Structure 1
Amino acid sequence: MNLDIQTYNNSQSTEDKLICDALAEQINLHLPEAENKIWHAHPVWFLDGNPIVGYSKQKKGIRLMFWSGKSFEETKLNVLGAKFQDASIFYNSVNEIDSTDLKIWLQKAKEIQWDYKNIVQRKGVLERLK
């Protein structure tokens, strides 16, 4: 695991660290080709420079976010806004993580992508890549 991500995970409370470690392990397992790093202060995985999935500590728990998750059409993923294509789920216990769902969502993250990498050049307009 990326040392910066491990440092991030280690800085969390005991239960949140378990959640972060489990998420990182599953993401690395199912997206081995993805670059991963701390981006905007939290762990994010990229395919060809495009952000795909990441997690962060928030008041509601550990938020697992898929940048193109709205297009996955998965009922367990919450869509918060209307402008972008992100969707997420919150975890407060490692036991809440459904590895089958996570595997499906990570596969969809490879297959369904919106171009966040070039959003600034397009003045906030998203285009679908896949």
Structure 2
Amino acid sequence: MLSKIIDDELKDSENKIWHSHPVWFLDGNPTVGFSKQKKGIRLMFWSGKAFDEKKLNIEGGKFQDASIFFNDKNEIDENDLKRWLEKSKEIQWDYKNIVKRRGELVRLK
């Protein structure tokens, strides 16, 4: 369900398995992905901290990622997910060049 909605909303993205998890990239920059963890399925937005969305959990302070966990597909609010995916196109931090910048993140959009 997550893959279908993400594919539908991020038509210009590249989807590939990255670090053993499905991740969608916009212009080579990781944008959204998900993984199976003990707490459930973790949906992560690499620039999600800047989305200013209360349902997205911000765990670290160094990067700009934010995520939410699901344990059942009925927990997924499609309206929230589509809004977050729209924001993922509009708000992006440059993870693609983080190594070149020695860990410094720069906002692209």
> TM-score w.r.t. structure 2 length?
1.00
Consecutive aligned runs of 4 or more in structure 1 exceeding 3 Å deviation: none
> Within 1, Cα distance between the matches of 2:28 and 2:11?
14
Corresponding residue for 1:12? none
Indicate the structure with greater strand content.
Answer: 2
User: How far is 1:122 from its partner?
Assistant: 0.3
Determine if the alignment matches structure 1 residue 106 to structure 2 residue 85.
yes
CA deviation digits over 1:17-69, x for unaligned, max 9?
xxxxx100000000011000000110000000000000000000000000000
Matched residues, number: 109
CA deviation digits over 1:77-125, x for unaligned, max 9?
0001000000000000000000000000000000000000000000000
Structure with max Cα Rg:
1
SS in 2 for 1:46: strand
Determine if the alignment matches structure 1 residue 92 to structure 2 residue 71.
yes
Among candidates 89, 101, 104, match of residue 122 of structure 1:
101
Indicate the structure with greater helix content.
Answer: 1
> TM-score w.r.t. structure 1 length?
0.84
- Identity among equivalent pairs (%): 72
Which runs of 5 or more residues in structure 2 are unaligned?
A: none
RMSD between superposed Cα atoms in Å:
0.3
What is the 5 A alignment of 1:43-122? 43-122=22-101
SS in 2 for 1:28: helix
